[in-house]
Structure 1
């Protein structure tokens, strides 16, 4: 019986770890989820990192189209950041 209690406690802690929600909300509400996930896959999680890429490089990522790019450029302009040339 004691072994079952110990096992249950171990399993509950494993489940809690596996179901943690990511807190990275970079560009949430600015661009759509597919575009945000593309940036996440490239490890781009700040406007500073984004400024190291050209507009053409970002447009090649899955999930980016004209709409996402316009929204992204407007957001970057508001924060006085731009793509590399």
Structure 2
């Protein structure tokens, strides 16, 4: 598992991302937030933290 995801997104959200094939933060670049919201365990707090981490690296959700 990657330690690339930001701290505090929670284990359920991390497991959901890995199950969907997203193993690195950069894999989420341009992925629509609506798609991520469909993942079991992905809540608004996790989405906000992922978006903030992406922006820090010059990326963004779709």
Alignment length (residue pairs): 62
- Scaled by the length of structure 2, the TM-score of the pair is 0.82
Show structure 1 runs of 4+ deviating over 3 A: none
**SS at 2:46 equivalent:** helix
Q: Is the 8 A contact 1:30 1:72 kept in 2?
A: no
Higher share in helix: 1
How big is the alpha-carbon RMSD for the aligned residues of Structure 1 and Structure 2? Answer: 1.6
Greater gyration radius: 1
**Which residue does the alignment assign to 1:34?**
12
Structure 2 gaps, min length 5: none
**SS at 2:31 equivalent:** coil
Q: How many Å apart are 1:53 and its aligned residue?
A: 1.6
**SS at 1:53 equivalent:** coil
Structure-1 separation of matches of 2:7 and 2:58? 19
